[in-house]
Amino acid sequence: MSISKTLCLTTAALLMVGCTSGKSDVEPTAKPSISAADLGRRIKNLSDDKFEGREPGTPGGILASQYIADEMKAAGIAPMGIGGTYFQPITLTTTTVSDGSFMKIGDTSYTAGDDAVYWTKHNADTVSVTDSDLVFVGYGVVAPEYGWNDYAGIDVKGKTVVMLVNDPGFATKDETLFNGNAMTYYGRWTYKFEEAGKQGAAAVLIIHETAPASYGWNVVSGGWTGAQIDLVRPDKGASRSKLEGWLTIESAKDLFKTAGLDFAALKTAAHQKGFKPVAMEGLKLNAQINNTISTVKSRNVVGVVKGTKYSDEYVLYMGHWDHKGKKDVAEGEDGIYNGAVDNATGTSAILEIGEAFAVAPAERSVLIVAVTAEESGLLGSAYYGEDPIVPLNQTVVGINIDGMLPLGRTKDVVVVGYGASDLDGLLDAVIKPRGMYITPDPKPEAGYYYRSDHISLAKKGVPFLYADGGIDHEIRGKEYGEAFNEEYTKERYHHPSDEYDETWDLSGIEQVTEIFYELGHGIANSRDWPNWNKTAEFRTLRDEMMKAKN
């Protein structure tokens, strides 16, 4: 059956949903249809103080993941974790750069937090870099589909590579260069650190600038100092550079001046194809990183509704269940970061969608994955990407749900990373009959598509949609929606005040959950394999993956 025909039948299928398949030990029997009441019940429970902010590795985090497993069971979603359970166990490591650590370039020592931040992914008590030559490598990008290689003609093994943030498209606003103003994955710091490691660099330093990074230095210094949570990597981080870090723009300019180089001129040159790396003569990096290391256990929660005909093909719904935990505060203050919007809403939505499929299974299987440690750097999804429960070439598409505002019903749906894959058109086919429209990501230059869990699988080739409720309120319009979003971002996002409120208007969350269900239902009852657009950076990976499968 084609996707377009299947989508037309989805609403009728929803209306036929009529019973549930199980009972939870801690909740009443879950309602079988997608409803605001059912979503609200789960959001309220997941953001309750008893889970103490759902931090991975804490008693509250363990309780929260168990609650999700219980809800899956009650909804008729079968276990798909390890050993017949709902869980995919993950060991996380917490590393803190401790006293005695230093980073020095030439005669200049860098104060962590003020001039630079630095750390190591190597799982060792002490990591050192000695007399490492510095090289400016432009944007640090190797992108064959764009004919771009900033490492061409140089061996950087053992060297320290210095690079710009974002990608050349943002700098030039040239729509024919990368993706123009919209950031590609090559612009993300995650890619730059990974690529430097592949190139064998001993150290990598990204130059921070607020506009291309889309955030100020305070975000960098606040995020990369103190305890850092990471996966326990099989190679103990040996594939990464020994030192990774950021420099302030002021520190970088001083560094280039010391090397006798014109930073502004080299930055301009780096925008052009064919840029050649430039040695920063006379400068060497010396560093020692002393680590305090501990480990904690957490887990992804994984359930499945098996398909009736093509059970070895899967439509994946993903959302992160974790939040920021509980902080020590003065008596009388609220130290619990409940994370009601972020991301009790998305977790509740994937449970509700799984429940609808459990009552009326599709031809393909549907996988529901609630991942841990998103707030620590997308670690639960990264683990799943490295060790998937279902082979990635059997994963047809993915839909990621990460935070939905209780704004009420809207006329639009916001698609982050709009234009990346066939999923945009399929979503449009779902919402047009509702009189709705797609709003493309309003800030593509910020690279938000690369900042949520789906990227862990997208960068391995799996086509993924990252969409959210809209901003154009059905009655009150865009200004109301924009103001609502601004208030949440300023006053509640990553604050203890992100709490469930009985007065919330959940109709919009219900609306978007239904839309995501309809989209997945259409794909799960088709024989189509939606793909990335031809210019997308992950298209080649997907094509090679599927070619190997066949």
| DSSP letter for each residue of 102-137 | EEEETTEE--BTTTEEEE--S-SSEEEEEEEEEEE-
pLDDT of residue 175: 85
Give me 304's structure tokens: 């499945």
Alpha-carbon distance 396 to 457, whole Å? Answer: 12
Q: Which residues contact 489 (CB under 8 A, 6 or more apart)?
A: none
Asked whether the beta carbons of 303 and 89 are under 8 A apart, the reply is no
Alpha-carbon distance 531 to 535, whole Å? Answer: 11
Alpha-carbon distance 125 to 127, whole Å? Answer: 7
Q: Quick: pLDDT tens for 347-380.
A: 999 999 999 999 999 999 999 999 999 998 899 9
Q: Which residue has the higher pLDDT, 442 or 5?
A: 442
Sign of CA dihedral 401, 358, 301, 237: negative
What 3-state DSSP class applies to 509? helix
Mean per-residue pLDDT of the chain = 91
Q: If you count DSSP H runs as helices and E runs as strands, how many of each does the chain have, helices first?
A: 16, 19
Query: Any bridge partners for residue 293, and if so which?
Result: 95
pLDDT of residue 233: 82
Sign of CA dihedral 477, 478, 484, 488: positive
Give the mean pLDDT of 157-161. Answer: 98
pLDDT of residue 306: 98
The CATH class of the 95-293 domain is alpha beta
Give me 347's structure tokens: 């977790």
Q: Are strands 228-231 and 160-164 parallel, antiparallel or unpaired?
A: unpaired
Q: Quick: pLDDT tens for 101-144.
A: 999 999 999 988 899 999 999 999 999 999 999 999 999 999 98
Asked whether the beta carbons of 465 and 422 are under 8 A apart, the reply is no
Supply the pTM of this predicted model: 0.86
Using pLDDT thresholds of 50, 70 and 90, give the confidence band for residue 30.
Answer: very low
Instruction: Give domain limits for the chain.
Output: 3-90+299-549, 95-293
Question: For the domain 3-90+299-549, what is the CATH code?
Answer: 3.40.630.10
Alpha-carbon distance 181 to 116, whole Å? Answer: 27
